[in-house]
Every structure is written in C-alpha cells, then in structure tokens.
Amino acid sequence: MPSLTLCDLIDDDLVSVETTELFRGARTLLLGVPGAFTPVCTQHHLPEFIANADNLRAAGFSQLLCVAPNAPWTVQRWAKEIDPEGKIRFLSDGNLSFVRKFGLTTRVDDLFLGECSKRYLMTVNDGVIERLRVERLVTDITCTSTNSALLDA
C-alpha cells in the first residue's frame, strides 16, 4: 500500500489518515464508491454492507471502510444518515489522490458526477493489497457485493 492521505472528520476537526498506518496490522475490506448520497450507493450498495458488517467481521475482516470522493463534511453527514450505528468507518478522498494512485478514476458526465471514483472493493492484509475488484460501470454492483467480499475472506 502506498503512503497516501485520506481524511476523517472527528468532532468537526479534519483528521489526516495515513494509509500506511490505517492498514498496518489489520485485515481490511475497503469499499470505494463514486459518491456520497448517490442513489445506487445509498439505496443498495452500502445498506447491504452495513447489514452484513457482523458477518464480514466474523469472516476475518477487522476493519470495514468506505472511501468516498467527496468533501469530509459530506462524507460524515452521509455516514451518519446511512450508518447511524457506525458499523463501517467512512473516509474522504475528496482530492481523489487515493483513487488516482490506483487508476480508479472515471468520468461520469451523463450523471453529472464529473471525475469521480470507480466503484471498487479492495482487500488489504497488513498493508498488502490482496485483491482489487472494479465494476465496469459505477452503477453496477456485481463484483463488489457483500457476497464477493465474503469470497475474499
């Protein structure tokens, strides 16, 4: 895992999250989404992960993350609405530095998303990327579903 910075918003303070520290010593399932509050993410994809968070942890993931390409305040607001119990940790990649490093950006002008993140699922074990699944379209949920995640456990 390259050294990159994501952002968390804790008590209204911006907190830099270094990926080398974030992934050290943990088996992580990271779900990357094209945008907070987008219909597919909000109505289908994230609810599935939140509902299955306990199963994913039981399968061996010590850390469940969602990374969105939005401002930290947007990501935090979305996290509070979609996951009020805090089963998943939501982080901001508002500068797109994380997804650019991995070639995971796309343009979705027809949905007025502009440049955004592709939908992806990354399995990381102690800082080593074990698997990366990337959807063909940002509206697809095929290889990034909870079932796919459980196969990677």
In the block, tokens 């698997």 appear at 131
- The tens digit of pLDDT for each residue in 5-48 reads 999 999 999 999 999 999 999 999 999 999 999 998 899 999 99
Q: Rounded to an integer, what distance in angstroms lies between the CA atom of residue 9 and that of residue 134?
A: 27
Alpha-helix runs per DSSP H in the chain: 19-23, 39-40, 46-51, 53-58, 72-82, 97-101, 146-152
Sheet strands (E) in the chain: 5-10, 13-18, 27-32, 63-68, 89-92, 105-108, 114-117, 120-125, 128-134
- At residue 153, does pLDDT exceed 70? no
CATH number where 129 lies: 3.40.30.10
Which of 41, 66, 116, 143 is an active site residue?
A: 41
- At residue 120, does pLDDT exceed 90? yes
- The tens digit of pLDDT for each residue in 57-108 reads 999 999 999 999 999 999 999 999 999 999 999 999 999 999 999 999 988 8
- At residue 151, does pLDDT exceed 80? no
Answer yes or no: are the C-beta atoms of 78 and 90 closer than 8 Å: yes
111 pLDDT band, cuts 50/70/90, is confident
Is 66 assigned a catalytic role? Answer: no
Closest CA to 127 of 26, 31, 57: 26
Answer yes or no: are the C-beta atoms of 43 and 81 closer than 8 Å: no
CA 125 vs CA 62, 121, 129: distances in Å: 10, 13, 6
Answer yes or no: are the C-beta atoms of 92 and 79 closer than 8 Å: no
Q: Report the domain count for the chain.
A: 1
DSSP SS3 for 11: coil
Domain interval for residue 138: 5-152
DSSP SS3 for 3: coil
Q: Rounded to an integer, what distance in angstroms lies between the CA atom of residue 141 and that of residue 64?
A: 18
Neighbours of 44 (CB within 10 A): 12
